[in-house]
Structure 1
Amino acid sequence: MEMKEFYYQDGLRVSVFNLDHKAIPYHFHGEVSDMMYCSRGQITIELPDADEVYTVHPGEVFQVPHPSKHRFVNGAPVGTLSRYVLLQIGAFDINFVPAAKEIAGQFAGRAMTHVADGAVYIEGRKNDIIKLADHFEQEKPEVLTPEEQADVVEALRCFASRGIEAGHPQAAGQR
């Protein structure tokens, strides 16, 4: 697993994750939601509190509302790299979950729900996300390859075009 965190300003955090077949550890956020865009391979999202497993393919998005426990897994065949672009809006925080092996066991062999038309809630930040996409189209962060740069621009444009300009309705305090 390779994480490239390259932008965190004005309440917007953007990262790229290249997943081999090691999963991101189970975690949750108290303040931010994870909005992910699958750019390569297939990403599986496990949500233990909801007892749900989802899968997204290239060009598709998924949002995990805070404070849901979750992890992202490479759902593509072994030996195939999967990549996703992560956007978070707000003050970043992360809390790792103990007893991850026990949690992972509940998802072994489970059927997944494919999310083809996932919604993302961008909290009124559409113009900021578009400006950020324009910026990264013109200027490549040092840590990114040209392919990753193109994926980031595509992901940000997707978040802006499909985004609902409100907070996630399932996020803490909005139930």
Structure 2
Amino acid sequence: MSYPLEKRELIAEAPGLRMQILTLAAGQEVPWHWHSEVTDTFLCMDGPMVIETRAPTETVELDPGQMYAVPSKRAHRVTGKDGGRCRFAILQGVGTYDFKPVGA
């Protein structure tokens, strides 16, 4: 799945594991999706940033230096707080990566 980002930096990738740094410009988002196997572990670098989840519904705000993990099979989306810019590291694993859009 492709969606607009200000910047995507691949830090490392190995079978079953990937580390990236994503920058969302104001108004951009990582849209609602879920993963079959991988956990997304977020580390806020510049923010604040917001992670919304479903089942259960939760809204988590991260400031720089804070982390949060979304387990596999849990729908989530990521934005900057109040539609602002944010930058974060994301560790995805362990397992085969997929991107399952919600509602598709």
What range is the shorter-chain TM-score in?
0.7 to 0.9
Displacement after TM superposition at 1:14 (Å): 0.7
Aligned residue type for 1:16 = I
The equivalent residue for 1:17 is 22
Please say if 1:3 is aligned against 2:3.
no
Paired with 2:29 and 2:92, the residues of 1 have a C-alpha distance of: 19
CA deviation vs aligned residue, 1:130-170 (integer Å, no higher than 9, x gap): xxxxxxxxxxxxxxxxxxxxxxxxxxxxxxxxxxxxxxxxx
Using the aligned pairs only, state the percent identity. 29
In the superposition, the TM-score normalised over structure 2's length comes to 0.83
Aligned length: 97
Paired with 1:16 and 1:43, the residues of 2 have a C-alpha distance of: 14
In the superposition, the TM-score normalised over structure 1's length comes to 0.51
Paired with 1:24 and 1:63, the residues of 2 have a C-alpha distance of: 15
The equivalent residue for 2:73 is 67
Q: Is the 1:76–1:82 Cα contact (8 Å) retained in structure 2?
A: no
Q: Which has the higher contact order (CA 8 A, sep 6+)?
A: 2
Aligned residue type for 2:70 = V
The structure richer in helix per residue is: 1
The equivalent residue for 1:96 is 101
Distance 1:47 1:77, change over 3 A: closer
Paired with 1:47 and 1:39, the residues of 2 have a C-alpha distance of: 20
Paired with 2:70 and 2:89, the residues of 1 have a C-alpha distance of: 14
Displacement after TM superposition at 1:98 (Å): 2.3
Pairing partner for 1:27 from 30, 33, 36: 33
Q: Is the 1:42–1:76 Cα contact (8 Å) retained in structure 2?
A: no
Pairing partner for 1:87 from 78, 91, 99: 91
Query: Aligned Cα RMSD in Å?
Result: 1.7
Larger radius of gyration: 1
The structure richer in strand per residue is: 2
Unaligned 5+ residue runs, structure 1?
100-175
Please say if 1:38 is aligned against 2:83.
no
Paired with 2:56 and 2:23, the residues of 1 have a C-alpha distance of: 26
